[in-house]
Amino acid sequence: MSTVYVVTRGLLSLPALLLRSEVSTKAELLVLRHKNAVLRPQVPRVRYEPPDRPWLAALSSPIPRHRWAEIFSITPATLLVWHRQLVAKKWDYSQRRRPGWPSTATAVKALVLRMATDNPTWGHRRIHGELTRLGHTIAAPPYGTS
């Protein structure tokens, strides 16, 4: 289906939803509940796709937990797992860049240690200068240190 079609159909059905009477809404809910009760024994196991899971997890929150077994075709434990996964994705910062300088290559670290042991009188500023002269780019030493 075209995305434009789906969006247009949704926008056109919005006034119908807003103007629908409460009796009509309750009747539709009763029909859907009866349909669910009839179909549940006929289908051995419903497999929800990953895009469906956040919707069911989000829609479960206003419903009391003792009614979840009647409404959903999955166990309450599964709903709670999906909800935890949803929350964990929201607060996952592993993809974000860490602050600070980029890490120094292992070869450059080894070179710094070798220069420091070979030249014990050199300080960090001298080693940094020599590495810069050799073409290695590393972080500048902090100001105010000697």
Residue 124, SS3? helix
Q: pLDDT, tens digit, for every residue of 79-120?
A: 888 888 888 877 777 777 667 777 778 888 898 999 999 999
Contact 122, 131 (CB under 8 A): no
Contact 124, 113 (CB under 8 A): no
Q: What is the DSSP string of 12-76?
A: HHHHHHHH--HHHHHHHHHHHHHHHHHHTTT-S-----TTHHHHHHHHHTTS-GGGHHHH-SS-H
pTM above 0.75, yes or no: no
Residues written for the chain: 146
Residue 90: which H helix or E strand, with range?
helix 76-90
Q: pLDDT, tens digit, for every residue of 44-83?
A: 777 888 888 888 777 777 888 888 777 777 788 888 888 8
Rounded Cα gap, residues 62 and 58, in angstroms: 8
Which pLDDT value is given to residue 122?
Answer: 92
Rounded Cα gap, residues 111 and 121, in angstroms: 16
